[in-house]
Amino acid sequence: MHRRHKGSNIGLFLLLSQIFQVGVSNIPPVTLAALAANVFLFLQPVKRLDKTCISVTECLYRRDWHRLYLSPFHHVDDWHLYFNMVSLLWKGIKLERRLGSFWFGYIITIFSLLIGVVYMLLELALAELLDVPSYKQSCAVGFSGVLFALKVLNNYYHPGGSSNVMGFIISNKYACWLELVAIHLLNPGTSFAGHLAGILVGLMYTMGPLKMLMKACSGGFRSQTDFSEQRNRYNSGARHYGNERRPYGFWLPPEEPSVEELRRQRLNRFERW
């Protein structure tokens, strides 16, 4: 999330160049649709930014609830769009392939709305605790809150590794917290509460009840990851998984077998019988 200022279109051209370098056919459908929606609304915004940004005053007090779903998909300028969409491109490719397109689209939809709610609660709490009414008028737009939530999910589904944040090498488990502070220090115009809201929603999904609630509300639909985990448990039996471990000492299974590999395994078992 970000506050408003003018920019050029260099970032937009760089974004389109990045997309074509990756290859449109290599981008999963929901990720591609989210990219297209953000670019389209940047070029043809539904309303002015001061009519789409989300704040306690405008959304909660004045009941302009449209801002909840408009604010994530509008951006301040082309550079704001560029950095957010490049981040979405790489996170989306990994997560959508892991979770499946339906579930990833469901996550994008719920997170976009819920992060706005959490953002307003944070700003309201800051205004009351610090006795600074201006927090209630603080208005933000942009997809970065959702991206912080997706970063939490990406680290959950793809554990391990490290990141370089301002010259510090830090585990990916904690990188989002350092990035939260670093981005705000380097660019004070960004919304600290908006980014924090994204992290909190991501944690509500990976460590809290949000994932269970989403499953209950989806009519029993199960994500591709759920099927993969169940299939791995079924196929593994009492099999041991080498020496690769998750953070905190949990076992990390190897890459899930492809459909072709599973078919060969079944044929081999049949031939042995």
Residues labelled as active-site residues: 144, 195
Instruction: Tokens 């205004």: give the residue.
Output: 127
SS3 168: strand
CA-CA distance, 234 to 230, in Å (whole number)? 6
Note the Cα 75 to chain centre separation in Å. 16
Q: Which residues have CB under 8 Å from 262's CB, separation 6+?
A: 231, 235
Q: Quick one: tokens of 234?
A: 């079924």
SS3 251: strand
Pick from 31, 149, 23, 146: nearest CA to 96: 31
Check if the beta carbon of residue 172 is closer than 8 Å to that of residue 155: yes
CA-CA distance, 149 to 271, in Å (whole number)? 47
Instruction: Tokens 């079924």: give the residue.
Output: 234
**Beta bridge pairs of residue 245:** 251
Note the Cα 105 to chain centre separation in Å. 11
Check if the beta carbon of residue 263 is closer than 8 Å to that of residue 269: no
CA-CA distance, 63 to 68, in Å (whole number)? 10
